[in-house]
Amino acid sequence: MKLDNATRRRFLQASSLGVGSVALSGWMGVLANRAQAAAPTAKKAKNCILIWSEGGASHKDTLDLKPDSKGAGEFKPIKTSASGIEISEHLPKLATHMHEGVLVRSMSTPEGAHARARYHLHTGYREGQGGLTYPSLGAIAASEIGSDKAAMPNFVAIGGRSFGAGFLGPKYQPLLVQDATKGVEDLKTLVSDKQFSNRTGLLEEMEKAFYHDYSAGAAIDHKTTYERAVKLMQSKEAKAFDLGGEPAANKAKYGSGKFAEGVLMARRLVEVGVPFVEVSLGGWDTHADNFDRVKNLSTQVDNAVGALLTDLKERGLLDSTLVIWMGEFGRTPNINNRGAKPGRDHYPKAWSLAMFGGGLKGGRVVGKTDKEGASVAERPVKTGDFLATVCDVLGIDHTKENEAVSGRPIRIVDKGNVPFTKEII
């Protein structure tokens, strides 16, 4: 530890005057505080990619297998690159990255209906709570770590549905890409750049008086959306949406189909500075034919996310990018036999998710379920605990209060939630 000149002089003066042990102990406290202040702090991730399993993946068939339990199912656990951690045999590529990942096996959440659970897991609040529409994690990230000056959107949602900015307003709404194979259509103008600039300038002049006289919410929202679209159309970074520029060999590593191309697009977007990207894969609501469907879906996730983690690592982006794989809940530990092919039902009481990169100390497991995978046996994690942790990893103060339309202060993460950051960073 180095001391500045003033501190060194005061220390030497105290020593020359024969300062006793009591005074010296006070100086030791000062020195300890200086050392702590000078110590390097944990790096914060700059980006987040959320891989969303629409419908809720079965934890007992993916990340928390219980081969000796009653509802064990058909899959076998395999070893991973992290000592002592095993996951499904249908996730072999993710298994090779487990030393860079953290499994949370003790999620326990309150909502068991799809729509309400999706809302809760995205926002940290329950639908209808306080009569407000709350911002999703992606909108929070756009607001807190995004750039207002960036030409690219700060929040992009690819495939499926997504939750938006709520009371934060249109400025932090996601850009929705329904089909990554088509990219973002209508980005190219039908006229020359000069004509386009002239036309947008004329429109701005014509609308100035209107905005001055009518500062209604709808008018402001329209102006915000229009300005974002123009900025994006003129951006050179917008080429990230065009997967045609990606080498065929690299595209093949991600697999085929809309989800694979969505994950590839997510990597390209992070490379050009988009702080939050969500990619959805539907089909996980496996009330029937659970095992064939989970096998197929797991293979899609394994190929695409495995390739994503490898690419991020090779490009030096994994430490600065947090990758999350999760859904709205888990599936019942017991198998139902209502149909010809058995399935699993909704189960928010105990389930799992995975996190990779982002500066995490990999090869770790947070929490534990009982021998049947039916209840949390150690370290229960609530929705707010998880979201507070993600905020910490991204350098966002989860206790910060944003102002709702009514003027009411609303915390980013509701009170009473405790992050588990210290266990994984």
Q: Is 196 found in the same domain as 69?
A: no
Res 202 pLDDT > 60: no
Predicted local confidence at residue 384, as pLDDT? 98
Candidates 313, 310, 299; CA nearest to 256 is: 299
Predicted local confidence at residue 2, as pLDDT? 46
Predicted local confidence at residue 210, as pLDDT? 61
Percent of the chain with pLDDT strictly greater than 90: 73
- Assess contact for 91 and 381: CB atoms under 8 A: no
Picking from 216, 240, 264, the residue at the C-terminal end of a domain is 240
Q: Is 204 found in the same domain as 120?
A: no
Residues in Cβ contact with 54 at an 8 Å cutoff, skipping those fewer than 6 apart: 118, 160, 161, 280, 281, 282, 283, 284, 285, 327, 328
Q: Is 263 found in the same domain as 222?
A: no
| Least confident range of 53-67, 69-83, 221-235 | 221-235
Q: What is the pLDDT of residues 216-272, one digit of tens each?
A: 555 555 555 546 655 665 677 889 999 998 999 999 999 999 999 999 999 999 999
Q: What is the CATH number of the domain that holds 112?
A: 3.40.720.10
Q: Is 169 found in the same domain as 102?
A: yes
- Count other Cβ atoms within 10 Å, centred on residue 231: 15
* Residue 191 pLDDT class (50, 70, 90 cuts): very low
Residues present in the chain in total: 425
Average pLDDT over residues 5-30: 45
Average pLDDT over residues 259-288: 97
Res 375 pLDDT > 70: yes
What average pLDDT does the structure give for the chain? 86
Q: Is 55 found in the same domain as 28?
A: no
Picking from 172, 205, 240, the residue at the C-terminal end of a domain is 240
More confident residue, 58 or 216: 58
Q: Is 318 found in the same domain as 375?
A: yes
Q: Is 273 found in the same domain as 199?
A: no
- Assess contact for 137 and 154: CB atoms under 8 A: no
Tell me the whole-structure pTM to 2 decimals: 0.84
Q: Is 165 found in the same domain as 28?
A: no
Res 34 pLDDT > 50: no
Residues in Cβ contact with 94 at an 8 Å cutoff, skipping those fewer than 6 apart: 80, 87, 101, 301, 302, 305, 306, 309, 354
Res 80 pLDDT > 80: yes
Local structure of 380: helix, strand or coil: coil
Residue 187, both tokens: 């980005």
* Residue 212 pLDDT class (50, 70, 90 cuts): low
Q: Is 232 found in the same domain as 146?
A: no
Average pLDDT over residues 88-101: 98
Res 55 pLDDT > 50: yes
Q: Is 87 found in the same domain as 59?
A: yes
Q: What is the pLDDT of residues 132-152, one digit of tens each?
A: 999 999 999 999 999 988 889
Q: Is 278 found in the same domain as 149?
A: yes
Predicted local confidence at residue 374, as pLDDT? 98
Residues facing residue 336 across a β-bridge: 343
Q: Is 397 found in the same domain as 364?
A: yes
Predicted local confidence at residue 339, as pLDDT? 84
- Assess contact for 34 and 309: CB atoms under 8 A: no
Q: What is the pLDDT of residues 169-184, one digit of tens each?
A: 989 999 999 999 988 8
Q: What is the number of structural domains in the chain?
A: 3
- CA-based R_g, the chain, Å: 25
CA-based angle 184:185:186, to the nearest 5? 125
Average pLDDT over residues 315-340: 96
What domain range includes position 11?
5-38
Residue found under tokens 């266990």: 423
Predicted local confidence at residue 235, as pLDDT? 73
